Structure 1
Amino acid sequence: MTTEVEAPNNVLSARIADDLRRAILSGELAPGERIRQEELAEQFGASRIPVREALRILVTDGLVNMVANSGAWVSSLTQEECSEHYKIRERLEPLLLSYSLPNLTEEDLEEISSLVEQMKNLDDIETFMFLDRQFHWATYAKANTATLSDFIERLWNTTQPYRRVFTRMVRSGGIEITHLEHELLVEAIKRRDSEEAERILHGHIRRTRIELDRHPEVFEHQFDTGK
């Protein structure tokens, strides 16, 4: 049974986790940046208990790395690790889409089409990334899976900072390819052509991986994560 003391801590832990998650995914906190628990406790007027619980939540999400007797850092990847994460995504996200596609309703199709239109002609990268994430997860929303969605979401979280760099790179030329791939994906989904939709999605993710593989400098200026 939850006690009166525990309930406020649980609520506070969730609030701290939500705030940190937003800061990490938006790029406000960079890969490898130290997270100081005492500063968080002071910021939220909390004890160390809800702060530690919030960090444990974010470790599960793939957003934070905790080192025993050392501290907590925003998760970071080497170029090799990031490439591996993308290769896993290339293979598993089409599978997740195949589970979802037959269950998507007309309302779902309208939503994903609207998100594609909203992403066009955007100058703000953060808004683009937010809508892009909404778009892809809207296509996965009706997948009835026990573990696959959670696993893939963790991979999205760990690769988010590097996807941001990729998005900045393609803004200078080539963003039209991203829009075209989105449109082709939507059309395949509307036709309920799972094989074609999976093929397009695989290539869409693979293109990002290949581009990041060509830019080792993306991974050279990260903080010390205490590993």
Structure 2
Amino acid sequence: MSAASAPLDRVRPPRVAAPLTRDGNASARVADALREAIVGGEYPPGSRIRQEEIAERFGASRVPVREALKALEADGLVTLVANTGAWVTRLSLAECEEVYQTRERVEPLLLRYSAPHLDDAALDELERLAERMAETADVEEFLRLDREFHQRSYAGADTLVLGDLVRRLWNTTQPYRRAYTLMIDAHSQRIVHDEHHMLVTALRDRDFDTAERVIEGHIRRTRRLLASHPEVFETLPAIP
């Protein structure tokens, strides 16, 4: 079996961030470290985030930890419950379906804003990322490369609202993209990789209508598979 068709079933163990120093903006540092940990799957949806544990882990007081959690709530990564605590945001199947339907509609628009401003160097980098995704059988590496690929495809857009909205939607669906990646078979993997290359080809050809259709179908494929696996959502812990 080639590397491109090998099953994506090797998940890396959680990474433990080094303690933070007390100088500088401690809340931003805690937020950055927690964001990376949540996006990387160290804290699954519905898991409790205890302020005292985070403060001890990162060598910070509780005040910057609280500020960091508020920033992550704005990012869509954390749910704060008054007088109760903080949890990693989790979605029900219905919520996830709605978020993905939103992504199907707004990401093609963001791509349309971005595409005319992607030069040859940017497109070459997208091609390299697509090739690296096809070569890896490591789930976490694939997810990191995939996120970078799509963020770079949107990097040419200068928007007031849309870019931030798409980043938030990506944050809230990251754990479900991981579940999707673990579920798909070799045939579906090839389709995913083909779509990445098709997107780059359409962007090179300045065929923005096709590029929009590719990204819309790319997102829809994930939504439809997740909808057929409600157990992904039923096994997650509830947030009070």
**Quick one: percent identity of the two aligned structures?**
54
Match of residue 50 from structure 1: 64
Q: In 2, distance between residues paired with 1:136 and 1:99?
A: 14
Q: Is the contact made by 1:79 and 1:219 (CA closer than 8 Å) also made in structure 2?
A: yes
1:165 aligned residue (179, 195, 205): 179
2:107 aligned residue (72, 83, 93): 93
1:192 equivalent in alignment to 2:236: no
Q: Which runs of 5+ in 1 are unaligned?
A: 1-7
Match of residue 4 from structure 1: none
Match of residue 5 from structure 2: none
Match of residue 88 from structure 2: 74
Match of residue 5 from structure 1: none
Match of residue 62 from structure 1: 76
Match of residue 35 from structure 2: 21
Q: TM-score, normalised by structure 2?
A: 0.89
Match of residue 155 from structure 2: 141
**Count of residues paired in the alignment:** 219
1:209 equivalent in alignment to 2:223: yes
Q: What is the Cα deviation at residue 224 of structure 1?
A: 2.3
Amino acid in the other structure paired with 1:101: A
Match of residue 14 from structure 2: none
Amino acid in the other structure paired with 1:40: I
Q: What is the Cα deviation at residue 171 of structure 1?
A: 4.5
The 1:159–1:19 alpha-carbon spacing in structure 2 relative to 1, beyond 3 Å, is same
Amino acid in the other structure paired with 2:26: L
1:118 equivalent in alignment to 2:132: yes
Q: Deviations over 1:38-75 (max 9, x none)?
A: 11122223221101000011001100000100100000
Match of residue 150 from structure 1: 164
Greater fraction of residues in helix: 1
Q: In 1, distance between residues paired with 2:198 and 2:187?
A: 19
**Runs of 4+ off more than 6 Å:** none
Q: In 2, distance between residues paired with 1:201 and 1:124?
A: 23
1:33 aligned residue (12, 33, 47): 47
The 1:210–1:17 alpha-carbon spacing in structure 2 relative to 1, beyond 3 Å, is same
Q: In 1, distance between residues paired with 2:185 and 2:163?
A: 29
Q: TM-score, normalised by structure 1?
A: 0.94
1:109 equivalent in alignment to 2:109: no
Q: In 2, distance between residues paired with 1:24 and 1:222?
A: 15
Amino acid in the other structure paired with 1:180: D
